[in-house]
């Protein structure tokens, strides 16, 4: 028998991840995590690194809040090189120039942890994204908007970033930062039922 879930903890400051969980009808409480992905290693494949970061965020999340906690990390990979969040507009423009007209991979690692009993589910979702060829003024305008500066690969697929994307092959929500179908399946496996589901 599944238990109804109305509140969930999120070990991420990402407003997009919070909005995605709220769209499932959940009351989301952001729980700070002491995990610092900027100083963590990116050894292994991009998928392994994304999952390692997600598990680290969950493990180092502060106590308190709802017992069920979600953590995630998204990594963009181009030709095997990881593209993180740009340090500034200059780095953001350089990333977007490299992505222009090309296909790259987005990996989102996630963990759903039931802190009341220690059970968890985790995994990685990968998606191929192809960019349109971008004009220099298009890149400058997007960077000037400030939108790319807190996002892996220097773009977000929602909002203005949608104008950069020619196609995707895979989970749109994983590119946004949270593979909702996998999260929902994980919650069901842990014995929880989402609102109105």
Q: Can 73 be counted among the known catalytic residues?
A: yes
Instruction: Give residue 74's Cα distance to chain centre.
Output: 4
CB atoms closer than 10 angstroms to residue 197: 13
User: Which of 155-186 are b and which e, b meaning 16 or more Cβ less than 10 Å from the residue's Cβ?
Assistant: bbbbeebeebbeebebbebbbbbbbbebbeeb
Of 36, 43, 73, 79, which is the active-site residue? Answer: 73
Contact 132/165 with Cβ under 8 angstroms? yes
Instruction: Give the position of tokens 């990685």.
Output: 124
Catalytic sites, residue numbers: 73
């Amino acid at each position: 028998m599944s238990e109804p879930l109305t509140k969930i903890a999120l070990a991420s400051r990402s407003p997009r991840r919070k909005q995605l969980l709220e769209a499932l009808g959940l009351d989301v409480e952001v729980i700070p995590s002491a995990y610092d992905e900027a100083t963590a290693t990116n050894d292994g494949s991009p998928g392994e690194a994304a999952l390692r970061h997600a598990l680290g965020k969950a493990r180092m999340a502060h106590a308190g809040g709802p017992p069920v906690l979600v953590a995630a990390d998204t990594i963009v990979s181009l030709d095997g090189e990881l593209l993180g969040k740009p340090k500034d507009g200059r780095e953001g423009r350089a990333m977007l120039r490299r992505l222009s007209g090309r296909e790259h991979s987005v990996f989102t690692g996630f963990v759903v942890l039931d802190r009341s009993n220690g059970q968890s589910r985790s995994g990685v979702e990968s998606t191929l994204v192809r960019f349109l060829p971008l004009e220099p003024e298009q890149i400058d305008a997007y960077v000037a908007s400030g939108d790319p500066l807190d996002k892996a690969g220097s773009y977000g697929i929602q909002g203005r970033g949608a104008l950069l994307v020619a196609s995707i092959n895979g989970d749109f929500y994983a590119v946004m930062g949270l593979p909702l179908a996998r999260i929902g399946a994980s919650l069901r496996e842990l014995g929880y039922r989402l609102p109105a589901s």
